[in-house]
Structure 1
Amino acid sequence: MGVLTTERLVVREWELDDADAALEIYGVDKVTRWLTPAMGQIADTDAMRLLLQAWIEDQPNMLPPRGRWAIQRRDTDEVIGGLGIRLLPPYEEDLELSWQLRPEAWGHGYAAEAGAALISWAFTQEIDELFAVARPSNTRAIGTAKRLGMTWVGETDKYYNLRLQVFRIRPSDLIDG
């Protein structure tokens, strides 16, 4: 993918040096309680570094638009979040867009800004749609999905054996910026 740049953000591949910043996302209960069972809370910097190493090694083998990326502020170079596109279980047919931000970055529109850039790029990779899933009580994620122009398509327990709200976006749904 290379690097995506928005007005305030850079979306780029993860680096091992991001471990401390990534732990402030994936090591925080306020964030990880909303994640799927496939991704638990990370205990310490060493564990975060091992997970980043796995993500970095997996990235070249993933068919675009799949992958995991860091969200970095342009003005401070601070890593404030992560984005991902991956196959949803159990059938591995639907592509899920996910986003996670450190709590201090919530409420500034960063997830929607970075997500919109990633969606635009993803639709250059010969895919027809992307999905986002959120627990019904995760109002922040639901709000971000709507700000991204995603349409609510229902509630299901098909993914992760959890009751989840499902949102979808197709190329024809893109919001003109």
Structure 2
Amino acid sequence: MPTITIVHMTPPLRTERLIIRDWSSTDSEEAYAVYGSPEVSRWLTPSMRTVGDAAAMRSVLEAWVEAQPNLIPPAGRWAVVRQEDDAVIGGLSLRLLPPFEEDFELNWQLRPDTWGNGYATEASKALIRWAFDQGLEEMFAVARPNNHRAIATARRLGMEWVGETDKYYDLRLQVFRCRPSDL
């Protein structure tokens, strides 16, 4: 039987301006400012329903924290924290894409008032490097064709556009791929 290694992001990843760390249920108010925002939630996949309030967000975070040790490494969900004021400004995740759960998806969500500062690119680059250091051979980002911000971020990350598909989430999506040699 193969040995499964549980990979936690301890210590957290650090970039010039950000900290990428495990979520805590105490992050519920700040997380709700991200995932409860209509500007963000309109782009979320069906697997992430709209969060109605901070109490519901707390339940979601508790589920994420509980599930984290059981995910296939290097999968996980993490908070993105701005170092200058210790504010949770977003989230990142690396997870298996449905329906076959063989392709890893990188995704990012930020509070709308932080858009346009390069945080999504900065945080995602750090997570990409970390995931490849854990042995991941490739990852994907998917975006609805009219989600121009996500598509632009995937391109800034150096991800290669590989086409359009309805394979994931039963939605028509643009697909971008990144491999270690792309860095």
Flag whether TM exceeds 0.5 (same fold). Answer: yes
Task: Name 2:82's counterpart in structure 1.
Answer: 73
C-alpha distance in structure 2 between counterparts of 1:21 and 1:127, whole Å: 30
Say which of 169, 179, 182 aligns to 1:160: 169
RMSD: 0.6
Q: Does 1:170 align with 2:176?
A: no
Task: Report how far residue 73 of structure 1 moved.
Answer: 0.2
- Deviation of the 1:41 alpha carbon: 1.1
Write the deviation string for residues 43-98 of structure 1: whole angstroms up to 9, x where unpaired: 01111000000000111111221000000000000000000000000011100000
Gaps of 5+ in 1: none
Separation in 2 of the partners of 1:118 and 1:67?
10
Q: Which amino acid aligns with 2:180?
A: P
Q: Percent identity?
A: 63
Count of residues in Structure 1 that have an aligned counterpart in Structure 2? 174
- Please state whether the residue corresponding to 1:123 is helix, strand or coil: helix
CA shift for structure 1 position 106: 0.6
User: Equivalences for 1:12-31 in 2 at 5 Å?
Assistant: 12-31=21-40
Question: What is the aligned counterpart of 1:88 among 92, 97, 122?
Answer: 97
Residue type of the alignment partner of 1:127: L
Counterpart of 2:121 (choices 102, 106, 112) is 112
AA aligned opposite 1:118:
L
Alpha-carbon distance, 1:40 to partner: 1.6
- Tell whether 2:50 aligns with 1:41: yes
Q: Give the counterpart letter for 2:131 in structure 1.
A: A
| Runs of 4+ in structure 1 over 3 Å off | none
Matched to 2:161, the amino acid is W
TM-score (norm 1): 0.97
Tell me, which stretches of 5 or more residues in structure 2 are unaligned? Answer: 1-8
How far, CA to CA, are the matches of 2:103 and 2:18 in structure 1?
27
Give the counterpart letter for 2:67 in structure 1. D
Q: Secondary structure at the match of 2:78?
A: strand
- Alpha-carbon shift at residue 170 of structure 1 (Å): 0.0
2:6 corresponds to which residue?
none
